[in-house]
Chain A
Amino acid sequence: MTTATEQRSGRFGRYGGQYVPETLMGALDELVEAYEEAWADPEFHEELEYYWRHYAGRPTPLYLAERLSDLCETQVYLKREDLNHTGAHKLNNTLGQVLLARRMGKPRLVAETGAGQHGVATATVGALFGMETVVYMGVEDIRRQRLNCFRMELLGARIEPVESGKGTLKDATNEAIRDWMTNVENTHYLMGSVCGPHPYPTMVRDFQTVIGKEVREQCREQIGRLPDMLVACVGGGSNSMGLFYPFIEDDVKLVGVEGAGHGLHTGEHSAPLAVGSFGILHGSASQIMQDEDGQIINAHSVAAGLDYPGVGPEHAYLQESGRATYVSVTDEQALDAFEQLSQLEGIIPALEAAHALAWVIEQAGNFGEDEVMVINLSGRGDKDAAEVKSLL
């Protein structure tokens, strides 16, 4: 894989870098080295592909959603990451990182989680390889994603509730990083998105590119050409980066959808690319939600996995360079799309993925009838059923 967007190690234009306390720098050096060595090693790829295929159930289907296509007056294909084992794209990355942790001889995993999907995917690989697993999760997210908490415990992970801030993904990430600092000798920090200090944005993207590579192959088989447009929701930005990256040098439109929460004008949203500014959060420079003193502003989204005031540095770069376009939809639009997909296609989407669907539905009529778009259905919505019921 070329690194078209990476000018020097860990930098995407002015974004990226390694802004972490010195205690972690040794561990980052070690991780960069281990990752580069593994990524260049065919045996590592063989092992990873084995687990992707036989354990996770990849490749996931690319499905022509006919009734949704009719509604949107265009050709809509869904990349079915909801059918990946554990119900979201997150396992693609946790399988990659756990194999790396084993190569580095780290017996303990820590992770942050918002929607609980990354927590479940981490707990899953922790169980698979018999590793101690600790997942940090904000108290608000524990409330709205109960099912996933139970799943994590069932899988043998310990959940550490995080009370600070608003009790969501940002706060959980702080605590996971602090745990890593304290136990850095024996612990691998299994970050769940394309955020954080180098090498995480590059490494997590690379593990998630399995999505885009499959889409390329499936488009070739099913329609005999590349798609015209790719659409994915953007929390930290991993499912979207994984879909976009293999198409970065092609003539394919890339659209990322952020959470507009109650509306961008209300300040209660999770759309740093829409209305954020240049700053540092969780170890990298990117577009973030902050006040003029650089204090981080709490995000809001009905989708716990999007409820984050930052975004991966490579997205900030793709936005700045004009290669990708970023839009946003509100909680309400996402909730509508959640119901619509359920009723049109018999697929209950994760609330995060419902944001990508909602944008396409909103834009219905603005696409060519023969245009082919691929929406990343990043996860399934079982986890959200109880919360949506209480909101509808």
Chain B
Amino acid sequence: MNSIQQTFANSHQAGRGVLVVYVTAGDPSLEETVEIMTTVAEAGADIVELGIPYSDPLADGPTIQAASQRALEAGTTIQGVFDCATQIRQRISIPLVIMTCYNPILQFGPEAFAVEASNIGVDGVVASDLPPSEADEWCAVAAEHNIAAIFLVAPTTPQQRVARAVECTTGFVYAVARPGVTGARDQLPEDLKGSVARIRQVTDLPIAVGFGISTPQQVAAVCEIADGAIVGSAVINIIAEASDHEARLPQVSQFVSGLAAATRW
């Protein structure tokens, strides 16, 4: 069992779901990302997801697109994100996952990327536009270097592909809550329970739900039907809207504590 699966098992035993928090690296700066991630962990997140900003993120809505653009304009590079991850790793011990599109991995070199991530102590990687059917090379190098490969399953994924996705997955299954892009939403989709059940039928791996999860109420509802909830855009909105550096960390802390409190069954 890897550290990600261990985290899910521990939470389960403690009677609660897992809270995964996503933050785009380099927004507003890589130095602040280190502080933000430390704050997120201290406020009760169980897993942190560090996003490599990308110029053309197909799966992302306006919030994460804007965060990526700000980060790129601030000069964020892949090596910069790895350095940032190194510092985060020195400060927190919970699982650290990198989220990216596949082209940056391809340009860095899949093997080199896995080696670098592994040396830093990154636990897993999600590539949001890499379906399992294109992932043979990535899965092989990730496995070789003990990086959990995390794949997405959508409500629109045919059952045959769900089976393939869970076979390739070695951390948790990332259940996409609804067709569409990332971004905070007022409501959970009605058929979420069915979507999760469809994945549960074919795997014992932990299942966490993301895309549009943004309030403690939604986190609570998700934790009743799945093993964890993933929150991204809502946190990024707080980071972006904070009036200044001083205000930012306490606001992030307060928001994440609220989410973490909602994970209890």
Contact = CB atoms under 8 A, between A and B. Distances in A.
A17 B134 contact: yes
Contacts of A23: 59, 152, 154-157, 176, 179-180
B134 A18 contact: yes
B61 A178 contact: yes
Contacts, number: 117
Interface size class of A (residues with CB under 8 A): 35 or more
Contacts of A177: 58
A26 B157 contact: yes
B258 interface: no
A339 B9 CA distance: 71
A176 to B, nearest CB: 10
Given A23-B176, A174-B56, A181-B59, A290 B181 contact: no
A17 B137 CA distance: 14
Interface in A290-314: 290, 292-296
B11 interface: no
Interface stretch (B88-96, B102-110, B243-251): B102-110
A22 B157 contact: yes
A19 B104 contact: no
B193 interface: no
B47 interface: no
Contact of A290 (B103, B108, B151, B161): B103
Given A178-B58, A184-B179, A293-B77, A22 B152 contact: yes
B58 A25 contact: no
Interface in A176-224: 177-178, 181-185
B180 A296 contact: no
Contacts of B176: 21-23
A296 B152 contact: no
Contact of B58 (A21, A165, A279, A292): A21
Nearest to A293: B78
B131 A20 contact: yes
A78 interface: no
Contacts of B108: 293-294
A27 B133 CA distance: 15
A181 B176 CA distance: 12
A293 B104 contact: yes
B87 interface: no
A21 B78 contact: no
Contact of A164 (B65, B154, B156): B65
30 contacts: A17-B134, A18-B133, A19-B129, A19-B134, A22-B152, A22-B161, A23-B59, A23-B152, A23-B154, A25-B131, A25-B133, A25-B154, A25-B157, A26-B161, A29-B161, A164-B65, A170-B56, A177-B58, A178-B181, A181-B181, A185-B156, A278-B106, A280-B129, A282-B56, A283-B58, A283-B129, A293-B108, A294-B105, A295-B72, A296-B55
Given A290-B107, A294-B54, 19 more contacts: A18-B133, A19-B102, A22-B165, A23-B152, A23-B154, A29-B161, A165-B55, A178-B181, A181-B58, A184-B156, A184-B179, A279-B103, A280-B103, A280-B106, A282-B56, A294-B78, A294-B105, A294-B108, A295-B55
